[in-house]
Structure 1
Amino acid sequence: MPAGDPRDLVVLLDARRRPAGTAPREAVHGLDTPLHLAFSCWLLDADGRVLMTRRALGKRSWPGVWTNSFCGHPRPDEALVDAVRRHGRAELGLEVEAITALLPDFAYRAVDASGVVENEFCPVFVARTTHQPEPHPDEVAELAWVEVDDLRTALAAAPWALSPWLRDQAAALDTAQAWSRLAVDADRTETHPPDAVVPNPRPRTSPSPATQESDR
């Protein structure tokens, strides 16, 4: 679905994280971003390394920041795992496998240097791939495969150089003592988290056109 297509919608959520409407993806992020549904994915290769990506310099929020593998928004009635697959193809040009819930209750709010707000209920997944990335230049400027221990060292030494959602996800993994969940077994079957399909919410007035375009 091309950018700007009126069917390219994200799911807005109420304070209890229930679907409360939709908004065009390109207009949902701004100075007063409503709570909405997203996902984030940590992608592993056959050696257990994590794919780190640097956001394209043309992004409206957090341009050029290094972050975890990829993230995005499910469309209404799209299963979260299907959204993970779709974004893996669109952003990185690869297929993902063994998609497993890592932090199913993760949510965060952050403000970048320009004032653009992220405000997301954002379940986090871990997945694996046997393909080499072919990143879309509008999404990814650079990438690197890193050992998990090296990533943890970078988070401790220079957290300011990494995306706020990556920092918050790492902190949640610390709290849950769950870093071992990043080990994806080659024979692991795909696991769908609860409520993997988003119900079709009732339409609601979209955010003001003054909000800035961004897909994170």
Structure 2
Amino acid sequence: MLVDGQGHAIGTASKTAVHGERTPLHLAFSSYVFDHDGRVLLTRRAAHKLTWPGVWTNSCCGHPLPGESLEHAVGRRLSYELGLTVERVDLMLPGFAYRAVMGNGIVEHELCPVYRVTVSTPATPNPDEVGEILWMPWAEFVAGVRSDLLAISPWCKEQIPLLADLGPDPLRWPGASADDLPPAARAARETP
């Protein structure tokens, strides 16, 4: 779903058509999966991915289908990419957006609300999407990112300080209001 600078839907395009040197702003999501011990699930993007292949990042990112709520898209992609059954999905950063350029000129340009997800089941990575997984204590992950000891995706690097500001225990972060989502995401949420 293509969006304007205020987050209103302005059209749709295929995923392959929008990831290039002139990537238009489009709606996406990022999710951070936690177990009940507060460990975060990190994923290494499959080596054949078009954008940031082989790079470590947050648990799962993706794009909603036209008319699909972001919460549903989060669950759908976590099931497909990691074989996970979602217990709970909570909105954390409703207005997060970023633009990042790879060394080869390919651009990611996303209005990308961020979600916390809790699970009890083990992850089973889909090799079409994920090269490796790693469960890590949240505080250790944040410290590694802040000290530049962990190389991660550019969107994840921007999200970590914002999430860390919510408090030291990710399982106790206060959720954000769905009313603060971009208009395109709110419209999908309201669609039956």
Match of 1:132 in 2: 122
For residue 91 of structure 1, give the secondary structure of its aligned residue in structure 2. Answer: helix
Deviations 1:148-201 (A, max 9, x none): 111012102226711100110013235xx213462159xx9x9872355445xx
1:102 alignment partner, SS class: strand
Q: Unpaired segments of 5 or more residues in structure 1?
A: 1-10, 200-216
1:1-216 → structure 2 map (5 Å cutoff) = 11-158=1-148, 161-174=151-164, 177-180=165-168, 182-183=170-171, 193-194=178-179, 195=181, 196-199=185-188
Runs of 4+ in 1 over 6 A off after TM superposition: none
SS in 1 for 2:13: strand
Contact 2:32 2:116 in 1 (8 A): yes
Q: Return the structure number with greater relative CO, CA threshold 8 A, min gap 6.
A: 1
Distance 2:101 2:149 in 1: 15
Normalized per residue, the structure richer in helix is: 2
Between the aligned partners of 2:140 and 2:74, the Cα distance in structure 1 is 25
What TM-score do the two structures reach when normalised by structure 2? 0.88
8 Å contact kept, 1:127–1:184: no
C-alpha displacement of 1:130:
0.7
8 Å CA contact retained: 2:42, 2:56: yes
TM-score by length of 1: 0.79
CA distance in structure 1 between the partners assigned to 2:168 and 2:117 by the alignment? 13
State the Cα deviation string for residues 103-126 of structure 1 (Å, max 9, x = none).
111111001121110100000000
Q: Structure 1 residues 68 and 158 mapped into 2: Cα distance closer, same or farther (>3 Å)?
A: same
* Contact preservation (8 Å) 1:43, 1:127: yes
Cα RMSD of the aligned pairs, angstroms, is: 2.1
Q: For residues 129 and 173 of structure 1, what CA distance do their matches in structure 2 show?
A: 19
Judged with a 3 Å threshold, the aligned counterparts in structure 2 of structure 1 residues 134 and 13 are, in CA distance, closer, same or farther, namely same
1: CA distance, partners of 2:172 / 2:83: 21
